[in-house]
A = this chain, B = another copy of it.
């Protein structure tokens, strides 16, 4: 039972929170039990997760005390987001809720509103969410709390980020990886205090961490580089004191390995030991969700529920107006220090525009299309390095050990990789202070960056395109967080989440089939139009323009796919700017007609653009009378009808590119389905014949890879003459001849082990 008559203030505070949490799950009326509990007081669909609530409040109360005593600015990241009732209760008692929404006042009306609004249609969701003050982490899909906490602490040396991690969540891989985060955290970063909330059970089983002995727990966390303290409050009459001591010690700790706390407590503490039919409750997994959920239909359960709720003695905690007792209201810290009001949790308000350099200075001079070679990411890296110099504490780059491989090494001239451990062996560009993190975990990269962005800063995540799918589900959840944040009026937009996907499958020099996977584009297409952007700049200058746009934007997830290999440059800086603004457009110099075309050759992506231009040249040589228009697409979503996506180009612009009924042979970087999907809703889409990645590949030459996916210049040209209006028969012969040429080149390359010069040395202007 929750307590004796001698309860101290902190315990009374927790009793109030626990009562409110239990009430939120069960009650829609009679919220202070002024009357005997009757079925009609119960929510018809009792929803929520009780099991973690008492523990979350224990931590929240402990942090309140720490903050009050030390004035420490503290952000709480709650891994068990399904313990939302506990957080709501604390936010209400500290007055934060009333500040954001006056209807949640600190009296009976506000209390009733809080209780009934939880898990009610149109009310608060059952999990933490952007609607809740102080929250930067939803905690529905588990595994990302700890990495998010580290991201929030980077470059904020005065901040303490307390992070509760459930022992269920601790079974996940991303959490297991994140325990190593201190090695990547430097002396100018804030501190993260992880609290492993070890209450023993997930939904229906004991957890891994419950099955570990204290010795194993200490060994494990010591091995990860922490100084662990086990605080076991099971069966204790006074859990607050040992936790407070551990928190105080952790706060004072300032040398050696950073502190973390393992909080062993009782799952669903405060519940009756069992239901009337004998199912055990307190301290078991049966406490996980709604205890006594049958109360509406079973009088014995109803009676037990009433006994349980009354065991908190709400009448001692709230006065006749529902106002919490004065002593309880002394527990939360001064208003400016409340956990729910920490400014970092509404990072959009802290965000300042990045001091982006003009791209002009970094552009490649392009006097004529295709005459200059450059590596797009190498060019970009110089520009990024300048951002790093200009924004020494608000911009970070996370990457799975691929910066050099992605030809972004110039960044490392401006900053080392941040790594706060001595290494005896040979290293380059490594130091305790740096703007760049390299860790072979896309999960850590993503989690760190999310925490960093949501607290008001900026960042970039360069990644091998095929492996960014490792964070598909994290992106799903982040997109949801952004979407809901946009619907909350007091949340200011944060800087966009920017991906630079490179080392794409078409040019995987050292790797093979496993490194080919453009599916992240398809993944992004499932997101809301208000959130998603997908760009495929075909050369260095368009990449610079695109990145300038992305790093200046807010509230979006920008996916930029760009090549890292040296290759032909197509557009001058001015042309690149205009082209990127339009999203897509005709490259008149590449076609041979200003009027109606027999066929449109369209392309999106670095390699498809090269092949399309080569196809256009092939056609000029082999079918000079064929009228060809060439269209390049940088902004994939510009192809959407404008009603479906804000970037969708007007019908008129679309017609300028693709005509009304002209056949289009479209060479696409990714799966063809992505193009069909964005075109949905445009007129006569069956005239678009999309070439793309067909999931065929191995370690081979670039041209062979194109051939196995039917996307060589010969395939495109052959398709063009076959599709072009009026070319059916002549086209067939020419197509066969083109494909014979392709096969002859392939045979040669199989013998030589490399693509012949006519492919690798190809130039737009002969």
| A residues in contact (CB < 8 Å) with B | 28, 43-45, 47-49, 81-82, 119-122, 124-127, 129, 138, 140-143, 168-169, 171-180, 183, 200-208, 210-212, 216-225, 280, 283-285, 289-290, 401-405, 417, 419, 421-423, 425-428, 430, 438-441, 443-444, 466-467, 469-470, 472-473, 476-477, 479-480, 483-484, 509-515, 517, 519, 522-523, 525-528, 671, 673, 676-677, 680, 695, 698-701, 704, 749-750, 752-754
Contacts and interface: CB of A to CB of B under 8 A. Distances in A.
Contacts of A404: 203-204
A205 B172 contact: no
A283 B467 CA distance: 27
A519 B417 CA distance: 35
A525 B523 CA distance: 11
Given A140-B511, A426-B280, A671-B526, A405 B169 contact: no
Contacts of A121: 700-701, 704, 749-750, 753
24 contacts: A44-B752, A82-B511, A119-B699, A120-B753, A121-B700, A121-B701, A127-B514, A129-B513, A140-B511, A168-B401, A173-B441, A173-B444, A202-B438, A203-B402, A204-B401, A210-B425, A211-B422, A285-B426, A469-B472, A484-B698, A522-B522, A522-B525, A676-B677, A677-B677
A673 B532 CA distance: 15
Contacts of A426: 280, 283-285
Nearest to A176: B176
B223 A217 contact: yes
Contacts of A701: 45, 121
B205 A417 contact: yes
B223 A695 contact: no
Main secondary structure of the interface of A (DSSP, over half): loop
B47 A510 contact: yes
Contact of A512 (B127, B225, B430, B441): B127
Contact of A204 (B28, B403, B523): B403
Given A511-B127, A514-B138, A750-B122, A425 B207 contact: no
B699 A510 contact: no
Nearest 10 A-B pairs (CB), nearest first?
A140-B514, A220-B223, A173-B173, A176-B176, A219-B223, A173-B177, A469-B473, A211-B421, A171-B440, A125-B512
A224 B217 CA distance: 8
A509 B472 CA distance: 24
Given A180-B208, A285-B426, A484-B698, 13 more contacts: A45-B753, A47-B699, A82-B511, A143-B470, A171-B440, A173-B441, A205-B401, A216-B223, A283-B425, A467-B473, A469-B476, A484-B513, A676-B676
